[in-house]
Chains A and B, each alone.
Chain A
Amino acid sequence: MDILELLKQDARLTPKELAVMTGKSVEEVEKVIKQYERDKVIAGYSAVINWEKARDNIVVAFIEIKVTPERDYGFEEIAKRIYSYEQVKTCYLMSGAFDIAAVVEGSDLKEVALFVAQKLSAIQGVTATSTHFVLKKYKENDLIFEEEEKDRREAIVL
């Protein structure tokens, strides 16, 4: 596995551990990671948290947004106006029936609904929104949120 694959799996791996697992030197690993960070290949490091377990007041919604692209900028400027809100955790340009997808978080349904109605819908160029509340997260970032299946192997077989 290369450094990126290993870090994707566990961002806590130290340069030394990464060096061992890729057969590179520690210096080389540090240099490569620095470069990735500079190039924004590695955009950041964060834990994948199952907020449903940590807190009871969290609501997540998936918002489909239709927009009219702007002359000269296309979708970029509108997208920026959308993702600049702190409530928007994820934002994608999409193909298909709508243009932009945003994942929005809030502490209750009303807060999220009002945010969509008063902020997102009001952005110039946004023509329609459709809000879908997330009821349960099963898997995120390659990680399954349910209790991990335990190792069912016999301790020893021969």
Chain B
Amino acid sequence: MKKPGEFIREEVRNTPPSGIRKYFDMLSGLSDVISLGVGEPDFVTPWQIRESAIYSLEKGRTHYTSNTGLLELRQAVCNMLRKKYNLDYNPLNQIIITVGASEAIDIAIRSIAGPGDEVIIPEPCFVAYKGCVNFAGATAVPLQLKEENRFKLTVEQLKECVTKKTKALILAYPNNPTGAIMTKEELRPIADYLSTKDIVVISDEIYADLTYGTKHFSFAELENMHDKVIYVNGFSKSYSMTGWRLGYVCAHKDIVAEMLKIHQYAIMCAPSFVQYAAIDALEQCEADVERMRKQYDARRRYIYNGLIEIGIDCFLPEGAFYVFPNIKKTGLTSERFCDRLLMEHKVLAVPGTAFSSAGEGYFRATYASSLENIKEALKRMERFVNTL
């Protein structure tokens, strides 16, 4: 007879849990820890958005919405995408409102790739991509991004990974965990190459609003790839709405129609009162987005400069809200560095290896934390580095 765990599919069993789970246990015995470990804004959702959710509950808007989401919200998202990123999607048949960008990524991957198919994942990257590919029964093909390329994808590297089985490429800029961005000029050769191939690009642009310097350019804007891009975004990072779980996915109508089936059967629809609040977020909270972005920018400069001053090599991030310092010269592995930083100096950062083996020699620290916390964390890191 099988033991209960043996009923689980091999693809699920063979996928390791998130590499940082052990820190939950390590944290339990410690007090006064400064965590730069979370991938979410420290700001509470702007009051206007919270108030709007309360109002929609008060009004009894508690029913299912259409599977694709409230039309008013889809229209608001499409208007914003047109205005900000020059993207043209029809709210009637080219967008699905999802439960977080996470669901959008999952249904995109499951729609495109299955057993025997390959999905190219540039690494280091957000932890969920590989898991989703595994669960779909497809094969994740890692592509190691390099610091000397400022963690940008190059067409040469991409060509090396493409095979006849390649179904999709996951592109995630601005990037978690590296903070890298890609400009129009840098994306163009990727698009030119892929336009000659039968490969879909799943473009996770959840940090689109958080760039510092150059305005974000969407891969979906490149004409020759527009119909082959599955565009993913959401409310979590821009509007500080992580716990609300609201995202969206846009693509060619024939792709959306198919993805919708998975969403329909698995999820039904995103929570209705959250969708109502999101309309207000889009239509009235642009100033809040900018206010938070400016705060991140000041902290980004502060933490980057602080790291350099204490002798930790770091690449200047241009997007998202992470620094990804290089600790190779300390001679410690990422994990050992982060373990000791936590146990000896009570600062929690995430080892680069949590974001794939390509992250060895790096750690990720978020600057979505108060300046006070960042200052104290830098002091503690300095003490730590001086002992090495």
Contact = CB atoms under 8 A, between A and B. Distances in A.
B48 interface: no
Given A1-B294, A1-B295, A155 B38 contact: yes
B298 A1 contact: yes
A87 to B, nearest CB: 35
B297 interface: yes
A54 interface: no
A149 interface: yes
A151 B18 CA distance: 23
A5 B294 contact: yes
Contacts of B24: 155-156
A156 B23 CA distance: 8
Dominant secondary structure at the A interface: loop
A155 B301 contact: no
Contact of A155 (B294, B299, B348): B348
* Contact size range, A: 10 to 19
A13 to B, nearest CB: 9
A6 B27 CA distance: 33
Interface stretch (A17-25, A42-50, A57-65, A129-137): A17-25
A158 interface: yes
B364 to A, nearest CB: 10
Interface in B7-48: 18-21, 23-24, 27, 33, 35, 37-40, 42, 44
B40 A153 contact: yes
Given A157-B39, A157-B40, A158-B39, A21 B301 contact: yes
B350 interface: yes
A74 B38 CA distance: 57
Given A5-B294, A154-B38, 17 more contacts: A1-B294, A1-B297, A1-B298, A6-B298, A20-B301, A20-B302, A149-B44, A153-B35, A153-B42, A155-B33, A156-B20, A156-B27, A156-B348, A156-B350, A157-B37, A157-B39, A158-B21
Interface of A: 1, 5-6, 10, 17, 20-23, 149, 151, 153-158
8 contacts: A1-B294, A20-B301, A22-B298, A155-B24, A155-B27, A156-B23, A156-B37, A156-B38
Interface of B: 18-21, 23-24, 27, 33, 35, 37-40, 42, 44, 127, 294-295, 297-299, 301-302, 305-306, 348, 350, 354, 371
